[in-house]
Amino acid sequence: MSAWRAVGLNYINYSNIAAKVLRRALKPELRAEAMRRDESRIRITPWANGKPAHEKE
């Protein structure tokens, strides 16, 4: 059994923790660029009748 599974983590949680540790270990000049990769954005598109329903502003 994998060490991460033995402590009750799934692979996504394990890889997120490993990525954060790696980013913190980088040299300061490289850390800023790597920390920007840690940000994530999602866009939710509502669907109606099998097509994306766009909200009019």
C-alpha 26/C-alpha 22 separation (Å) is: 7
Residue 25 sits in a domain whose CATH number is 1.10.1620.20
Q: Retrieve residue 27's tokens.
A: 């040299």
Does residue 26 lie within any of the structural domains?
yes
9 in any annotated domain: yes
Looking at the structure of the chain, the number of domains it has is: 1
Token pair in block for residue 2: 């994998």
- Residuewise pLDDT in 10s, the chain (57 residues): 688 788 888 998 998 889 889 988 999 888 888 887 777 777 888 888 888 887 554
In-domain check, residue 19: yes
Which 8-state DSSP code applies to residue 55?
P
Residue 55 lies in a domain: no
pTM over 0.75: no
Identity of residue 5 = R
In terms of DSSP H, where are the helices of 1-57?
Answer: 3-6, 11-25, 28-37
**Full domain range(s) for residue 11:** 3-50
Whether residue 57 is contained in a domain is answered as: no
